[in-house]
Amino acid sequence: MAGILYLCATPIGNLNDMSPRIIETLRDVDLIAAEDTRNSIKLLNHFNINTPMTSYHEYNKVDKAKTLIGKLKEGINIALITDAGTPAISDPGEVLVRMCMDEGITVTSLPGPCALITALTLSGLPTRRFCFEAFLPADKKERKRILEELKNESRTIIIYEAPHHLKGTLKELFDTLQDRRITLCRELTKKFESVMPTTIAGAMSYYEENDPRGEYVLVIEGKSFKKQDEEKQSGFAEMSIEDHMKIYEDQGIDKKEAMKLVAKDRGVSKRDIYNALL
């Protein structure tokens, strides 16, 4: 019988967040695959876990996944842990999970700490709909494209950031998304945990005076549909009604339907458009 891959979430700063079920699983499995074995040995020693470890890094994720899958097929049970938090969330794991599924190997997840969920719940921003952007890409073109895409994102946006990039990222967010509410969640679950609800401009001026320190999750307000509609209407308001009609008529839409669409875009009645075109 093939073994099982257990995804085990580990603390993001507070050892007391290690769940009894995860401690038990880490003791019971045959092998622990860890992002950084030197880092994880401290955690395992703390909980008297003596299971053998092997590394599973981002850079060898495909080749090593093949080796791990070979072991799982032999019946070996493996737990995957990362340096902190939930495996596969901005951490190695995603590829291994996909490959295990393709090979019909059972994967199960033992939930626990995750910086994005901890930050979202503390943010004071809408939690019903959100999108997670992880770290913004380092590649300039890709980064610009994602920021542009986020401009009209209506859901709450969550971004991971390292302290030395924080100021630059805040400026980019201000330049692209304009000023809006943001909650900076720092050192979550640790002694110096701080949660700062402010605006992007407020955060920029705060960090003119203070050096960013520790690990950050940025939780940013989405752009409401109301605001998006207002912006769209003010954009159309600068255009003549004739030009606006032309946009739709050029798409082959008949005059009656085009008047309906123009009225909707401009937030006025169809009669107003009809009268203006007389």
Q: Enumerate binding residues for ligand SAM (CB under 6 A).
A: 12-13, 82, 84-86, 89-91, 114-116, 160-162, 185-190, 215-217
Q: How far is the CB of 78 from ligand SAM (least distance, A)?
A: 18
Closest contact distance (angstroms) between CB of 159 and ligand SAM is 8
| E strand spans, the chain | 5-8, 31-34, 53-55, 78-81, 107-110, 130-135, 156-161, 181-186, 194-199, 216-220
Of 190 and 264, which has the nearer Cβ to ligand SAM? 190
**Alpha-carbon span 216 to 207, nearest angstrom:** 13
Report in angstroms how near the CB of residue 193 gets to ligand SAM at its nearest: 7
Q: Which residue is nearest to ligand SAM (CB)?
A: 85
10: closest CA among 31, 32, 28? 32
Residue (43 or 185) nearer to ligand SAM, CB: 185
Cα separation, 26 vs 14, whole angstroms: 18
Closer to ligand SAM at the Cβ: 10 or 273?
A: 10
CB of 61 to ligand SAM, least distance (A): 14
Tell how far CA 184 is from the center of its chain.
14
Q: What are phi and psi of 110, to 5 degrees?
A: -100, 105
Closer residue to ligand SAM, CB minimum distance, 3 or 85: 85
Q: Quick one: 161 or 221, whose CB is closer to ligand SAM?
A: 161
Residue 94, number of CB atoms within 10 A of its CB: 13
CB nearer to ligand SAM: give 116 or 258: 116
Give the full edge-to-edge strand order of the sheet including 78-81. 53-55, 31-34, 78-81, 5-8, 107-110
CB of 17 to ligand SAM, least distance (A): 10
Distances (CA, A) of 135 to 130, 138, 157, 159, 214: 15, 8, 12, 6, 15
Q: Three-class SS of residue 2?
A: coil
For residue 185, the minimal CB distance to ligand SAM (Å) is 6
Of the pair 184, 204, the CB lying nearest ligand SAM is at: 184
CB of 139 to ligand SAM, least distance (A): 18
